Amino acid sequence: MMHWRQVVFRFTAELPIPHSHWRPWSPEPSVPVVRDDPRVCPVQVPGQLAWPAPPRTLTVDHAHRIADRDFVELPALSAAITQMASERDLSDAWERLALHMVRLALAGREAGQTLVREQDIAQLPQLRGPVVELFRRTRLLGRRPNSWHLALHPHQPPVSCEHCLSWSGTTSKLCSACKNWRKFNERGGCRRCHRILPLSLGRCRRCRVVQLEQTLAGAPVPDQLWFGGEIDIYANKIGRDLNTARRHQAQQTRAARRYWPEHLIDPAQLELFPVPARDWKKLQDPGLLKISPAAQAIVDELDQLARAQAWTSATRKKSLRTLRVLLGWLGIQTPILERDVYAVGRMTPYYNAVRVAGFLQLKGLLALDSHAIGADEASVQRWTAQAPPQFQADLQAWVAVLRGNGKRSSPPMPWNTVRGYMLNVVAVLDAWDHFTSLNEVTEKEVKTAAVNYSYFTGLRSLFRALRRERRIFRDPARNVHLKAPVRVPRAIPSDRLRGLLDHVPGAKDKLALALIAVYGIRPK
C-alpha cells in the first residue's frame, strides 16, 4: 500500500518537480551502483595455463551480483535470446533470466578459453538446455563427443552417508547398511548425538557402532569415521556376529560391576509409618544390583511364560528388565507395591509394567493399592463426567445407592451392571440438557425416552434411587409401564411331521400331535 506522501507528491518523468515544492533530502548526488562482484567467477588472465577446474555451485544470486559485467560475446547472445523468445513465445522475464544465465556461463570460463564448454553450462542453476542452444547458435559452444546429456543432467559429486557419515565414493545420500537400518527402525532423537534418525535402543546406527567400539576398547576413544559401500566392515555385523560378540563382552563388563544390595527390608521389621512414593527416575543405572538365586528363579519363570505365550521380543525384554530392577531393589521377602511396579515401567520406554504386575499378582508378590479401580468403575466415572453438569450430582448419588452406600443400606450391585445402566441413562440425559434439574422431568418425557426396556430399566432405577435419597419430590417413572410383546408360538412345518399321525396309536395322542404341529414352539 502506498504512503499518503507518495500519493500527494508523486511526479512523472514528463512533469518536472517545481523548485518551490517539497523535495526528498539527499546528502549527496546518487551514483548508479555497478553490480560486478569480483568474488564471483574472477576474471581470468588471457593465455594463462589453468589448473584442473573444480566443480562450482552457482546460484541465481551469483548471476545478479555480476549483472553489469561486460563481455564481447554478449551482443550476439542477446540477439539470439530475443530470437529464441520470439520463436517460442516466451516472456520478458524469461529473456532477462536467460541473459543472466548466459553472463554467468561466460564468467565461468577458465583462462585461455574462448568457447563455453558443456560441462560448465551443466553447473548453471536454471535454463541449462536453452543456454546450450543459445551458445550453439552463436558458435560459442565447446562440445564434447557423446556428452550432450551432461548439460541437462549433470553428475552429482560423491558424498558421505548422511546417517553414519561413512565414505563410499558414491552419490547416494545413504549407504546400503543405513538404508536397511531405516526399514526396521523408527525415527526419533538419538540419546547420544541428538539427531533425528532411525533408532535402536535409543541410539542411531553410528552411535551404536561407536558405543560398541568404545566397549571393545575398554576405555573412551574418539569417534572414528569408516569407509562404506563394498568395504564397509560394519555393513552386516551390527545386528549379527559383531554386535553379539560385543554385547556378550559388554554383559561381562556389566556383570563385573554388579554389587549386592545392602538396603533390603527385613520382613520381620515393624513399619513406623507408610512408605512414601519412591522416585525411580533418580536412579542413574538401576540394573546394576545383583539378585538372589530365588529372585533369579522368578525372572526365569517369567521368561519361560513369555516364550510359551509367544510374547514379542521387545515386550519380553522390557518385562524381564522391569522385574529384575524391582527384585534387585526391593527383594522378594515382602510384597511389592503396585505403584512401584508402574513407577519403574514409566522410567523409560524400555520398561513394561502391565505384564509384570499381572505376573507378580499371580505369584502373590504384589500389594494392590487401596485406591485402585477397575475398568467398569473407571467407565462409570468417565460417563458420569460426560453427562450434563446439572445432572452429575444426581448421577453420583444414584451410583452410591446402587453400590450400597446410600442412606439406607442395600446389597451392592456389580460394577458391570452399573455401567450398563449408566450408558443408557447418559444417552437420555443428553436430550434433557434443557432441564435445570431432574425435578422438571414428567411422565411424558419418560415415556418418550423409554424406547425399549434397557432405557426404561435404567430410568426407573435412577428416579427410584433419587426419590429414596430425597433429591426429587416425586418419581415420574412410577406410573409408566411398557407393554411386553406377546410372542406367538411358531408352527412346526408340515414336512417335518409328515407321516407321524400314522404312527400314533390313539385318538387322544393324534389330537395332541395335531395341536403341537400347528402351535408348537420350535427353535428359532
Q: Is the pLDDT of residue 56 over 70?
A: yes
Under the banding of pLDDT at 50, 70 and 90, the label for residue 229 is low
| Cβ neighbours, 10 Å, residue 246 | 20
CA nearest 488: which of 515, 517, 521, 456? 521
pLDDT at 188: 92
DSSP 252: H
**% pLDDT > 70, the chain:** 76
Cα separations (Å) of 475 from 19, 441, 492?
96, 9, 46
What is the phi-psi region of residue 307: left when phi exceeds 0, alpha when psi lies from -120 to 50, beta otherwise? alpha
Contact criterion met (CB below 8 Å) for 149 and 143 = no
pLDDT at 198: 92
Between 451 and 82, whose confidence is greater?
Answer: 82
Spans of all domains in the chain: 60-152, 176-257, 280-367, 375-468, 487-524
Phi/psi of residue 348, nearest 5 degrees: -140, 170
**What is the CB-side half-sphere exposure of residue 486 using CA atoms within 13 A?**
1
For residue range 111-142, list pLDDT tens digits in order: 777 888 888 888 888 888 888 888 888 888 88
Phi/psi of residue 356, nearest 5 degrees: -65, -40
What is the mean predicted confidence (pLDDT) over 5-28? 48
pLDDT at 11: 42
Element (H, E) at 188: strand 187-189
Euclidean distance between the first and the last CA atom of the chain, given in angstroms as a whole number? 80
pTM of structure = 0.35
Under the banding of pLDDT at 50, 70 and 90, the label for residue 195 is very high
**% pLDDT > 90, the chain:** 6
Under the banding of pLDDT at 50, 70 and 90, the label for residue 226 is confident
pLDDT at 155: 61
Between 426 and 214, whose confidence is greater?
Answer: 426
Q: How far apart are CA 204 and CA 187, in angstroms?
A: 9
Beta-strand pair 336-337/196-198: unpaired
What is the mean predicted confidence (pLDDT) over 374-385? 85
For residue range 398-448, list pLDDT tens digits in order: 888 888 888 887 888 888 888 888 888 888 888 888 888 888 888 888 877
